[in-house]
Structure 1
Amino acid sequence: MNNPHETLSADRRRLLREHLMREIAMDAKAPRPRRRLVWLVAAPLAVGALAAVTLVVPGGHHGATAPAAPASSAATPTPATGTPLPEPTDPAGLLSRAAKAVASRPAPAAGNAQFVYSREIQDGARQPVHERSSWLSVDGRSEGLIVDPTMGDGRTTWHAALSDRPGAHRSAGFDVPTYEFVSRLPTDPQQLLQQLLAADRSNAVAGMQMTPKLRNQIAFGDIQMIFQNVSAPPAVAGALMQAAAKIPGTSVVADEADANGRHGVAVVGTNGTMRVSLIFDKDTGAFLGLREVLLADLPPAGPDGLPPTGTPSPGAGNGKGYDYATAVLASGIVDHAGDSPKG
């Protein structure tokens, strides 16, 4: 981690190259790889080109703790007539309601000198179940902090994502996201999706051929990165949820559980040989965490564009039903790396 810019760039190129090799192998009807890609699930600001594992604050909700999944409320009255509307039970309806709920929350104040704080459970990736806390700079120009018992001495400084050094990134973007950058994204899901798909990916692909499928997977990975590492103001978080569901090759499922056993609605996509679920509270829209399942076989997506279900690899997650999962426990905007949210 001496030079985070070189590390992220090299990792992104490596993952994309592995993906391209899988696509070539599939086209040639060669056996698909069965091994899991080495996502940086325990590293600060983990970045994968397709759907890298990262950490987020719950749906842009900045408070002392992530809201536990509340009991479902009764039917919701309409503003105009007061007539109760039936609660949605279909996946798309649940996600839409959750996205609207989180988007209606007030945006937190976040200064460029402050930090995005997150505390979460991590389970899997060949590591024991543990808690991990992170403080990442709002504008990407201050050194952050990671506290994780599985990393070296359990405490490490996270270098600033942006720098004025020659050759270093000088502005934020989807390849180097910051909270400040994310806060300026469109709050209309379709406009946001168009911006994700139209983003310059030349640095990400390192001269390799860009295909529509690869571009879609990178867009899904960017959304995952934002939710897990950077966070988003409420209105943007709601748009990101709906934009993710519009990406070809993703789907919405009504019920998934995070690493803490909380259930929510999920947007599901694939990265390599992994099926990835981004899980949101059905009532508040808060980001609860993610779940990854290693697939023994990854057949192509069907004509409906839905991701394949495949067959979980033998012994996946030591019988837990997943190979890696997280659960956000607390989050917020704080003044200094090491601080806890007030209230």
Structure 2
Amino acid sequence: MNNSPELLPADRRRFLKEHLMSEIAAETNAPRPRRRLVWLVAAPLAVGALAAVTVVAAPEGGHGNAAPAGPASSAPTAAPSASSASSAAPAPEPTDPAGLLARAARAAASSPDPGARGTQFVYRRELQDGARETRHERRSWFAVDGRSGGLILDPTMDNGRSPWPATLSGVPGAPRTASFDSPTYEFVASLPTDPQQLLKQLLSFDRAKRVSGTPMTPKLYNQFAFADVQMIFQNVGAPPAVAGSLMEAAARIPGTSVVADEVDAAGRHGVAVVGTNGTMRVALVFDRTTGAFLGVREVLLSDLPPAGPDGLPPAGAPSPGAGGGKGFEYASAVLTSAVVDQLEAEPAN
């Protein structure tokens, strides 16, 4: 089992465990319990969900599983003549999903690095909508090195605030080990900036302790890898070079897909890496120009057109009335993301 601190209430831990067991039952052709699932990585105490949540990432119909194009070659070329330069047309902007994601990933990787120090905090102000909660803003502070407890301010939580997450060791300042099981910003900063190397690390990490007594199949490894990428983007944050690498690595996890247009909770459109989680279609949405992580959009598969004969998640529009008329079950939008010096500090404008 996972040795990280128990960060979820007992009922949420039990719900996650039941969801995991239903996914494993499906692997062995056992009947899956019919239940309406909600993606709990997006819940306030999200880090603990890594101990049990699974994600099934599957290609979108019509897009295939093509990996995003890599950066343009930096090999020197001969200088064009005056006549050829004047007649040369500018390179067309990409319109295909893989090209859009590749461009966004390069833009993310070239963004200014905040140079976060271990004693600082990753600050997030985001809009959340759905998951049986009213539309609201949430603010969070996540310790860069994991040695200090963080904080969430959320009006939907008891008392409107909660320590989050606990320190990795449970004792501030004590030795700790960060990993995909217990990620910190410092750990994420150490990940490869080459997408293929990062993909290998994501897929080879031993996650067997998350499912005690259950064999880890290749499909489950892929599910957990996608879940870990979502955890990083939604909660932990990543330095620019690693963020760009994570975007392309996520699109190369077997079973994921890239779609050209998805919408976050604030109505912003972006390119997305898409998969499924139990009964949910999950999209990680990125700005097409800057590569910034915009948020998550989740739709119940039952609210979407039927899957094709290949069993992949549908890409069509939700049915009328889906999500109580919202068209989604849960969506978020990152409004502000910054590195600050202390808890409850707001970034300078």
TM range (shorter): 0.7 to 0.9
Q: Write out per-residue CA displacement over residues 46-101 of structure 1, whole angstroms, 9 at most, x where no aligned residue.
A: 4252249xxxxxxxxxxxxxxxxxxxxxxxxxx96675100000001000000001
Correspondence 1:341 to 2:328 = no
Q: TM-score, normalised by structure 2?
A: 0.80
Which SS does the other structure have where 1:291 is aligned? strand
Which of 278, 287, 292 is residue 281 of structure 1 equivalent to?
287
Correspondence 1:326 to 2:314 = no
CA contact under 8 A between 1:139 and 1:180: conserved in structure 2? Answer: yes
Q: Distance in 2 between matches of 1:95 and 1:159?
A: 31
Aligned length: 313
From the CA coordinates, give the structure whose radius of gyration is larger: 2
Which of 203, 217, 221 is residue 223 of structure 2 equivalent to?
217
Which of 98, 105, 115 is residue 99 of structure 1 equivalent to?
105
Sequence identity, in percent? Answer: 61
In structure 1, the residue matched to 2:6 is 6
Which SS does the other structure have where 1:6 is aligned? coil
Which SS does the other structure have where 1:5 is aligned? coil
Which aligned pairs between 1:281-300 and structure 2 lie closer than 5 A? Answer: 281-296=287-302
Counterpart of 2:37 in structure 1: which amino acid?
R
- Cα 1:18–1:311 shift into 2, 3 Å: farther
Which aligned pairs between 1:253-272 and structure 2 lie closer than 5 A? Answer: 253-272=259-278
Which aligned pairs between 1:115-194 and structure 2 lie closer than 5 A? Answer: 115-163=121-169, 170-194=176-200
Q: Distance in 2 between matches of 1:9 and 1:193?
A: 32
Give the superposition deviation at 1:38. Answer: 6.2
- Cα 1:29–1:94 shift into 2, 3 Å: same
Q: Distance in 1 between matches of 2:229 and 2:281?
A: 15
Q: Structure 1 regions of 5+ residues with no counterpart?
A: 53-78
Give the superposition deviation at 1:157. Answer: 2.2
Larger displacement relative to structure 2 (7-16 or 321-330): 7-16
- Cα 1:340–1:330 shift into 2, 3 Å: same
CA contact under 8 A between 1:122 and 1:259: conserved in structure 2? Answer: yes
- Cα 1:138–1:100 shift into 2, 3 Å: same
Q: Write out per-residue CA displacement over residues 243-264 of structure 1, whole angstroms, 9 at most, x where no aligned residue.
A: 1110111111100110000000
Counterpart of 1:283 in structure 2: which amino acid?
T
Which SS does the other structure have where 2:46 is aligned? coil
- Cα 1:219–1:40 shift into 2, 3 Å: closer
Give the superposition deviation at 1:26. Answer: 6.7
Give the superposition deviation at 1:212. Answer: 1.0
CA contact under 8 A between 1:295 and 1:311: conserved in structure 2? Answer: no
Q: Distance in 2 between matches of 1:242 and 1:207?
A: 32
Q: Write out per-residue CA displacement over residues 188-235 of structure 1, whole angstroms, 9 at most, x where no aligned residue.
A: 111101101100112212221211111101000000000000000001
Q: Write out per-residue CA displacement over residues 154-197 of structure 1, whole angstroms, 9 at most, x where no aligned residue.
A: 122225331265xx993000010000000000011111011011
- Cα 1:288–1:164 shift into 2, 3 Å: closer
- Cα 1:87–1:314 shift into 2, 3 Å: closer
